[in-house]
Amino acid sequence: MEELGRTFRDWVAAQKVDGCTTTVLDDDHIAIKHECMTGQVNFYCFDDMPDVVELAVTDDATGENRFFLHFELEDLERAQNLFNEMKGLLETACESNTTRVLLCCTVGMTTTMFANKMTEVTKTLSLDYTFEAKALEDAKREGGAYDAVMLAPQVGFRRREVAEALPDATVFEIPARIFARYDGAGALRMLMGVLGDESLAVSDPTDLRVMRTMHKNAELPAKTVLIISAIRRPHISSISWRLFDGYKLVASDEVHKPDIGFMDIVDIMATLRYKGVDLESLDAVGIAVPGSVDYGTVTFSGFGFADWNIEKELKDRFGVHVFVDNNANAGAVGCYVSQDTYDSVTLHTQQTGMLVGGQGTVCNGHLLRGHKGMAGELGALNWRVDVMDECYEGVEPADSSAMTVHREQQIAWSGEQMLPVLATMLQANIAIAAPDAIYINYDLVDDMNALRAELAKGMPEEFIPDLIHITDYHEKIFLGELALVLQRLTTSAK
């Protein structure tokens, strides 16, 4: 054995490995015994060649290799670092970090096969997951300690009752496109994303699951951000702002006006600067406005914001970095990051007195913006009551444009008559986006049982997602826009 080999061997023999007993078997072999694993450091000597070192850890119960590598001993520091990797494994050998996952279907047969498929994938990737399969009724009755419960598509509509029976587990449905193909790898990626597992092979910085995990753990990036939210209503609109230092709210205010537009944003920022806020020192400004947004320009139905390139205008005027989003999209992101039960959500927001609303959708962690930012802009459909007569039983037919407007107003202020209109808008969203839950911000329709019954008139009950009525739409906008801004700043930094 060369001198470097002897030096490394003596160093290894002197190392203290917590929970282990180190035994020098002979000049070429050292054993490090843990209660459930055995480590070995073996030396092989050859003429005219560097010594070769073998590091190995074996699971005593299964005989499986948990760590194995060999290398030519040419650098002492490198060899010591490699040994420390093995040492860390031995010291935590009996700590259980296993993620327990339950798969449920009607009788447990198909999920048993799917669980076997996922087990194959995790073994290939050396990931510490265990999978069980049970019939849904057995799972509810027997309970158990699980980190996640994955429901087959045929029982996905019973997610709420499973979540109540297993409150400590994250419960979600496996998409049919994954389950029907027995796509174990796709199901594993989804599972790891839902659980916020950092060992996920592909980390997409545009995935809002990253922001959701940060929000849940209060680990949002420490940035100084100004958020401005504009909401247009039939009679009185509002524009509000909040200044955040990291995740802490520093200051806020709100203005109510008959109508609002781009110059109201300019006024707010000019006033803040006058009051001593150093706008140029802000990391970014996030603005949520009505209307579709395409690269900073409000392109459709933006009312007083239409055709303004808000990002460019404010950067030129105040020297700040600006991001602009549709307010329904920001609200949907707020709904998404504030919970970890649903991986796809839609927010439908509508003001009393308006015939249509707006929708924002986050699908599998990604905000749907669409071509020119038009995703969810229901106003673009230009729905007229004369083509939706089935929704307006009891309303007098229109025979002039003035009567049509009057007829629309009758409907727009009536919760009873708006119920089927809302159901029609939501059915379209369910058919296209199929979210796990739909959040409803609409004062006229707040009975979710009645809305579910209306939806069931036009589609099977099992396809109707959870319906959640909210009254804190403005809070969801601020949270969502803050998350979108921080996401962009984080992505830019990376």
pLDDT digits (tens, 9 = 90+) for 51-77: 889 999 888 877 777 788 888 888 888
- For 347-359, how does the pLDDT look when each residue is reduced to its tens digit (9 = 90+)? 999 988 888 889 9
- For 81-127, how does the pLDDT look when each residue is reduced to its tens digit (9 = 90+)? 889 888 888 887 666 567 889 999 888 788 888 888 888 888 766 67
Cα separation, 99 vs 297, in Å, equals 45
Residue 149 belongs to a domain with what CATH number?
Answer: 3.40.50.2300
Q: Please work out, in degrees rounded to the nearest 5, the angle formed at the alpha carbon of residue 326 by the alpha carbons of 373 and 466.
A: 95
Cα separation, 345 vs 362, in Å, equals 5
CB atoms within 10 A of CB 439: 26
Please report, rounded to a whole number, the percentage of residues in the chain having pLDDT higher than 90: 38
Q: Domain check: are 345 and 487 in the same one?
A: yes
Cα separation, 317 vs 269, in Å, equals 10
Residue 468 has pLDDT above 90, yes or no: yes
SS3 131: strand
- Residue 387 binned pLDDT confidence (cut-offs 50, 70, 90): very low
- Residue 212 binned pLDDT confidence (cut-offs 50, 70, 90): confident
User: Where is pLDDT greater, at 269 or 120?
Assistant: 269
Residue 319 belongs to a domain with what CATH number?
Answer: 3.30.420.40
Mean of the per-residue pLDDT values of the chain: 84
- For 286-310, how does the pLDDT look when each residue is reduced to its tens digit (9 = 90+)? 999 999 998 888 987 767 898 889 9
Q: Domain check: are 195 and 248 in the same one?
A: no
Q: What is the mean pLDDT of residues 179-200?
A: 73
Q: What pLDDT is stored for residue 235 in this prediction? A: 77
Q: What pLDDT is stored for residue 330 in this prediction? A: 96
Inter-CA distances, 375 with 11, 291, 352, 368, Å: 63, 10, 22, 6
Which residue among 176, 203, 230 closes a domain? Answer: 203
Domain count, the chain: 3
Q: Domain check: are 395 and 428 in the same one?
A: yes
Range of the domain at 155: 99-203
Cα separation, 383 vs 212, in Å, equals 35
Most confident of 34-43, 228-237, 283-292: 283-292
| Global pTM value | 0.60
Q: Domain check: are 225 and 142 in the same one?
A: no
Which residue among 144, 178, 203 closes a domain? Answer: 203
Q: What pLDDT is stored for residue 218 in this prediction? A: 65
Which residue among 91, 124, 149 closes a domain? Answer: 91
Q: What is the mean pLDDT of residues 366-385?
A: 79
Q: What pLDDT is stored for residue 200 in this prediction? A: 43
CB within 8 Å of 255: residues ≥ 6 apart: 238, 239, 240, 264, 268
Please report, rounded to a whole number, the percentage of residues in the chain having pLDDT higher than 70: 87
Tokens coding 420: 């089927």
**Phi/psi at 75 (nearest 5 deg)?**
-140, 120
Residue 329 has pLDDT above 80, yes or no: yes
Q: Which stretch of 72-76, 151-155, 278-282, 399-403 has the lowest confidence by average pLDDT?
A: 399-403
